[in-house]
Amino acid sequence: MIVILVGPPGSGKGTQATNICETFGIPQVSTGDMLRAAKKAGTLDPKFLAIMDSGGLVPDEAILGLIERRFEDADTKNGVLLDGFPRTVPQAEGLEALLSKRNLKVDAVLQLDVPRDQLEERLVLRRMDKRTGKIYHLSSYPPPPDADLEHRADDQPATVKRRLDAYEAQTAALLPYYEARGVLKRVDGVGKPEEITARIAAALPAPKQ
Ligand code: AMP
């Protein structure tokens, strides 16, 4: 089961990814999380660090290298849920080549649809509790009083605009790519998280018992 979750930053990809992974027993592979983990461990190339902090895209070859190594891990044997990857057509082509070497293919591409003004508000007010990794929203999902809050460098207003522009400019080309392959499923991403989870479940094949 290879599922790709596509959606602009702030569309709720991370939350929905967790739910899908539990349902299908597959790991979530998020290139953003992998890059942030490398940053925290001090192993990220400083060039990539600067790109991330300014909201640009890390080069395709570096991202494909990360994904290829991740597919070697035993926990990916039943499939993966890809979150934040692919973001460009060259990444999608690289993924296809990498999967076909393993006799695999993309089963579904879920596109979470959220209007741009809502995305900007969600991101600028998003905070993470550094102790638990949980994500909060200052107005709609406030953090507990003892939270140790972090506002991601790339969630600052000017950077948010850049990230959304980068998404629109580069990732929009991905949708026709997957539409042509008959695997694209559009899901309305506005509503309560559990409503969106139900829409996603309806768009995917039933999990194996
Ligand atoms: P995310 O948490 O998915 O928004 O990723 C955070 C940042 O990591 C992005 O703004 C990019 O700089 C970088 N990044 C994550 N995934 C990719 C990808 N597939 N291609 C290029 N850059 C990426």
- CATH code at 48? 3.40.50.300
| Residue 209 pLDDT | 64
209: in domain: no
87 CA closest ligand 1 atom index = 19
Closest CA to 156 of 57, 84, 56, 54: 54
Q: Residue 50 is inside which H or E element, if any?
A: helix 46-53
DSSP track, 64-86 = HHHHHHHTTSGGGTT-EEEES--
Q: For 43-199, where are the E strands, in sequence order?
A: 80-83, 108-113, 126-129, 135-137, 149-150, 184-188
Nearest CA to ligand 1 atom 2: 32
What pTM, to 2 d.p., does this model score? 0.83
By annotation, the residues acting in catalysis are: 13, 87, 126, 152, 163
110: in domain: yes
148: in domain: yes
38: in domain: yes
Assess contact for 120 and 164: CB atoms under 8 A.
yes
Closest CA to 57 of 164, 151, 175, 178: 164
Q: Quote the number of domains for the chain.
A: 1
133: in domain: yes
| Residue 132 pLDDT | 94
Within 6 A (CB) of ligand 1 lie 9, 31-32, 35, 51-52, 55-58, 63, 84-85, 87, 91, 154, 163
208: in domain: no
The tens place of each residue's pLDDT in the chain, 209 residues long, gives 999 999 888 898 888 988 899 988 999 999 999 999 999 999 999 999 999 988 788 999 999 999 999 999 999 999 999 998 998 899 999 999 999 999 999 999 999 999 999 999 888 999 999 999 998 999 888 999 999 999 988 788 888 898 899 888 877 789 999 999 999 999 999 998 899 999 999 999 877 66
| Residue 181 pLDDT | 95
> Which residue range is the domain that position 109 belongs to?
2-203
Instruction: Report phi then psi at 5, rounded to 5.
Output: -105, 115
Assess contact for 187 and 111: CB atoms under 8 A.
yes
161: in domain: yes
82: in domain: yes
Closest CA to 59 of 188, 135, 170, 159: 170
Q: How far, in Å, from the CA of 88 to the mean position of ligand 1? A: 11
Give the mutation target among 5, 13, 15, 35 for probing the ligand 1 site: most ligand atoms within 8 A of CB: 35
